[in-house]
Amino acid sequence: MTPEEQNFMRKINAEEKIEPKDWMPDAYRKNVTRQMSQHAHSEVIGMQPEGNWITRAPSLRRKVVLLSKVQDEAGHGLYLYSACETLGISRAEMIEALQKGTAKYASIFNYPTLTWGDVGAIGWLVDGAAIVNQVSLQRTSYGPYSRGMIRICKEESFHQRQGYEALLVLAQGSPEQKQMAQDSLNRFYWPALMMFGPHDSESAHSAKSMEWKIKRETNDDLRQKFIDQTVPQIEFLGLEHPDPAIKWNEERGHYDHGDIDWEEFYSVINGNGHCNRQRIEHHVAAHEEGAWVRDAITAYNDKKMPTKQKTWRKGYLI
């Protein structure tokens, strides 16, 4: 290894954070950029299935809580896009990649929210799965990503609790409300397990991400944590577990579970989910409608900022 590579690995092994101005391998920069940008895209696209229910929430309290949650997701996207920009990529480039389909986001946001129960299921299961993954990311090796995750995890914890509370009310309500909760659990449970990604042996990035400590735990280990914590939560709700094969394994100290439909997973991430096209089309439309705001901000900054203070990078003013 070159002296730069040796010093880089020394920092990784010593649990020192890699900072934006530090030397890093191009592959490390690319790997972190890919993971952070996909995370940011997921936060922003994830606003759509819940934002659709703000005007239809069953009470003023539910409306205010959901509105607050969706605003948080926008903030998470902002933190992550900003952290990603420290690696030399502009936000415009990231958004263009998302809209052209060359960048991915969490597959679960391509499923429709058909009932109010789905909003609760997203908060409980989807944000619950996100917390399991993101708690370990607070120790990721890239400094801006690690620090951003500390605040994000605190807010995601609130999201998970509001979702679970919403489903708890339904589960304790009328037979029709309990059935709504059961139906939402059935439809979102398996996609939530897919959020952790494919088995590590089939993941193109896991091995290197683990070596560089971008990821701190494997996909399968994180998925098992989520399964183990979800079983007693389902029991407390008084609902039936969607996985008939779920069974406690005394020897392993974990729950055994059924097989995940990986064909469905790959079909959705490749653009064939229920709402893939709808999600991107909505994002493109909102982006275009907001162009005048970005243009106005740029014009204002041009007017107020002395020319000598302007800096350009890859064609974008920073």
Note the pLDDT of residue 311: 55
Note the pLDDT of residue 208: 86
CATH number at residue 168: 1.20.1260.10
Domain count, the chain: 1
Asked if residues 195 and 133 have their Cβ atoms less than 8 Å apart, the reply is yes
CA distance 304 to 299: 9
* Helix ranges, the chain (H): 3-13, 26-45, 47-51, 60-85, 91-100, 116-121, 127-137, 143-171, 175-194, 206-211, 219-237, 262-267, 276-289, 291-304
Of the candidates 110, 283, 251, 293, the residue with the CA atom closest to the CA atom of residue 187: 110
Note the pLDDT of residue 317: 47
Which tens digits make up the pLDDT trace of 141-183?
999 999 999 999 999 999 999 999 999 999 999 999 999 999 9
CA distance 157 to 152: 9
Which tens digits make up the pLDDT trace of 115-148?
999 999 999 999 999 999 999 999 999 999 999 9
Distances (CA, A) of 158 to 42, 153, 208, 292: 18, 9, 32, 34
Note the pLDDT of residue 314: 47
CA distance 184 to 9: 45
Note the pLDDT of residue 199: 85
Quickly state the pLDDT bin for 309 (edges 50, 70, 90).
low
Domain that holds residue 187: 3-314
Cβ atoms < 10 Å from Cβ of 145: 24
Quickly state the pLDDT bin for 261 (edges 50, 70, 90).
very high
Taking every pair of C-alpha atoms in the chain, what is the biggest distance, in angstroms? 69
Name beta bridge partners: 248.
255
The mean of the pLDDT values for the chain is: 93
3-state SS string for 2-57: CHHHHHHHHHHHCCCCECCCCCCCHHHHHHHHHHHHHHHHHHHHCHHHHHCCHHHC
Note the pLDDT of residue 192: 97
